[in-house]
Amino acid sequence: MEFSAKQIADFLQGKVVGDESITVNRFAKIEEGEPGSLSFLANPKYTPHIYTTKSSVVLVNSSFEPEREVKATLIKVEDAYAAFARLLDLYSQYQKQKEGIHETAVVPASASLGEHVYLGEYVVLGEGVRLGNNVKIYPNTYIADHSVIGDNTIVYSGVNIYEDTRIGSDCIIHSGTVIGGDGFGFAPRPDGSFDKIAQIGNVVIEDKVEIGSNCSIDRATIGSTIIRQGAKLDNLLQIAHNVEIGEHTVIAAQTGISGSTKVGKNCMIGGQVGIVGHIQIADGVKIQAQSGVGRTIKTPGVAIQGSPAFDYSQFNRSFVIFKNLEKLEKRIRELEAKLKSEKSLS
C-alpha cells in the first residue's frame, strides 16, 4: 500500500515540513533509506543521517530543528519513536488480514468456527475443536480434539496443539511450537527400566500471551500447566508439566523450567536459565542470564545471578574476588613461604 506524507501526518496528528504529496510504501532505517521509504529519528546519535538519508519521509520529534538542508520530507510528532511503532503495528495488522478456509484444510463436522476465521493449507482440526472470531491458523498446523482457541489469536505454521488445550484471546504462537505434549513422567522399576506415567492433564494459556518459535509446553500429569495473562515467552523454551507462569512475566530464549514450579507475576528471566522443579519464584524476581535456580525465592522483586543463583549485588562483589583467585592463591603461597622462613630463623 502507498500513503502520502499528508495521510500519515493526519493519522499521527503531526505536522508536515516539506512535500505533503510525496508517497511511501515501505519502512527503512534512516541510515539505509531509499526513495519511497519511511524512516524515523528519535535517538540523537543518528541525527547526522537525516542530512544524508535517501528516505522520502522521516518522522522526527516536534522539537527537532535541522542545522542544514534536509532533502527528506519531515513529519513532526510529539514522540517519533512511539509514532513509528504505531505505524509498524498498523502495517503488521494489515499484513495479517487473512480470511477463508483453504480447500486442503480438514475441518470435522463437530468443530465450531467463529466469524472471519482463516485456515491455511493443510491445517487439521480435531473433533470438537472450537475457534473464536478472527482466529488465524497458518498452514501445516494441527489442533487436536476438544481444544479451544479464543478470539483474535494467531497460530503460525507448523504448530502442534495437543488435545484439550485451552488458549485465550489475542495470543500469538509462533512456528514450530508444541503445546500439550506429554510431561517427562516415568516411574523407575527394580530392574532399572522405567514405566511411563500417563499425563492426563492439559495446558491452559490465558489472554494476550505470546509464545516464540520452537517452544515445548508440556501438559500436566493431573490438572493444568498454566501460562497466565500477558506472559511473553521467547524462542526455544522448555516449560515442563504442571508449571505455572505468572501474569506479565517475560522469559528469554533457551530457558528451562522443571515440573510443578510456580513462577510469580512480573518476573524477568534471562536467557539460558535453568530452574529446578517443585519450587516457587516470588513476584517481580529478576533472574540474570545463565543462572541456575535450585531453591524457592521468597522475596519479591529481588535480582539474582549465578549457579547456584544468589543476590545479584553479592554476586558482583564475589565476582571481583573469584576472577582473581589465581592471583590470590599465589599471594597466599608467598605469605606461607615467608612465614615458614621466619619461623625457621626464630
Give the catalytic positions in this structure.
241
User: Is the separation of the CB atoms in 249 and 266 below 8 Å?
Assistant: yes
272: exposed, middle or buried (Cβ count in 10 Å: 0-12, 13-18, 19+): middle
DSSP 48: G
Give the helix/strand (H/E) hosting 256. Answer: strand 256-257
User: What does the radius of gyration of the chain's CA atoms come to, in whole angstroms?
Assistant: 28
C-alpha to C-alpha distance for 334 and 238, rounded to whole angstroms: 49
Closest CA to 152 of 128, 111, 116: 116
User: Is the separation of the CB atoms in 111 and 56 below 8 Å?
Assistant: no
With H, G, I as helix, E, B as strand and everything else as coil, classify residue 13: coil
Which residues are within 8 A (CB) of 343 and not within 5 positions of it... i.e. 6 or more apart? none
User: Is the separation of the CB atoms in 258 and 184 below 8 Å?
Assistant: no
User: β-strand 303-306 against 154-155: which pairing, if any?
Assistant: unpaired
Q: How far is CA 225 from CA 156, 199, 244, 245, 313, in A?
A: 21, 11, 6, 9, 33
The residue type at 339: L
The residue type at 275: I
Quote the cell numbers at residue 252: 528469554
Residue with cell 500477558: 230
Which residues are within 8 A (CB) of 20 and not within 5 positions of it... i.e. 6 or more apart? 4, 5, 6, 9, 73
User: β-strand 172-173 against 154-155: which pairing, if any?
Assistant: parallel
